[in-house]
Amino acid sequence: MHPDWRLFLQNQSLVAFEDIYKNAQLMLMSLDHYGVIEVSGKDAKSFLQGQLTLNMNLIQPAQGGYGGYCNLKGRLHALFYLVQTDEAYRLILPKSNITHLLETLKKYALFSKVVLNDKTDALAIAGALNARALPILLEKGNYQVSQQSNLTFIAIPEDRGLLLGSAADMEAFWQSMRCPKTTGTLWDYADIQAGIPMLTKETLEVFLPHYLNLKELGALNFEKGCYLGQEIIARMEFKATIKQHLIKGTLQDSTPLIPGVELFNPGSDNPIGQIVNAVQTPKGIELLLTVKDEALEQAVLLNNQKEIMIHPIN
């Protein structure tokens, strides 16, 4: 996070999550737990085409996306929002995964004319809920990109928006908006409700894309050609029966949960799935889980004790 943006936020009055999470009006939040990796240079597009699950030929300056980056075994290094701005590509993802992703990308960039930079400290990142109240995002489809007042606006599913720009420009925009401001916890809650997973340092190279519903989320492209992990992912798509999927869950508890924790059926010592994301709300813990389909015929337990209530992703 840019130091000026951090200082600005410290002097702001933010509404508590529990007071506004059902509010239907526009609200803004600083995503200070997110960071940005910028990929630029002559070969940026072709380099990313050979690395990411997205088809970079479909990414234009006015079109972003949501995608993943896998290892050779098809396990996910990262999930991110991607946007093209000013001849560069920016990957927006949880800050705890920035170092790992940057170092991994650099290993494959040795023979490409690309520049990879961590822009987390140079940029301010904000999120908007009920974002169609913002004129710039009005009537925008998912992952459509707009520019205004030197800020980049990206339309996100479930009537949300991502905002990216300099600290000074973000501060000016933030002050101009007469709407509630809150913390990024609400953004994580909205991701869970939309069934959009994000990886953290605890879940690197753990999940296969199909187990997180990436096909359904439009994050996998089977016509783009080769990329890291493509052979394994294609084999699962065309030759295998996918028996594990992403679902939502609720746990009546106040103990913080760490992504990657294993789940069980009653009386069994064999894991049936794992926690992907978790966020504390006034009514308990909201979860994204990846669980074997057959295991849903029984109770899903945390630590073989606490039952998680299961909900489908709409």
Architecture of domain 243-314: Beta Barrel (2.40)
Backbone angles phi, psi at 175, to 5 degrees: -70, -30
Give the pLDDT confidence of 239-280 residue by residue, as tens digits: 989 999 999 999 988 787 889 999 999 988 899 999 999 998
The pair of structure tokens assigned to 80 is 């991110």
pLDDT score at 137: 60
All structural domains of the chain with their residue ranges: 3-194, 243-314
pLDDT score at 15: 78
Reduce the DSSP state of residue 111 to 3 states and report it. coil
What's 74's DSSP letter?
Answer: S
What's 141's DSSP letter?
Answer: P
Q: How far apart are alpha carbons 52 and 78 in whole angstroms?
A: 10
Give the pLDDT confidence of 11-50 residue by residue, as tens digits: 777 777 777 766 678 889 999 999 999 999 999 999 999 9
Q: Which residue has the tokens 């928006």?
A: 161
pLDDT score at 44: 96
pLDDT mean across residues, the chain: 90
Check if the beta carbon of residue 276 is closer than 8 Å to that of residue 207: yes
Q: Tell me, what amino acid is at 302?
A: L
β-bridge partners, 147: 152
Establish how many alpha carbons lie within 13 A of residue 1's alpha carbon, considering only the half-sphere containing its beta carbon.
18
Instruction: Using the predicted structure, report yes or no on whether residue 195 has a pLDDT greater than 90.
Output: yes
Architecture of domain 3-194: 2-Layer Sandwich (3.30)
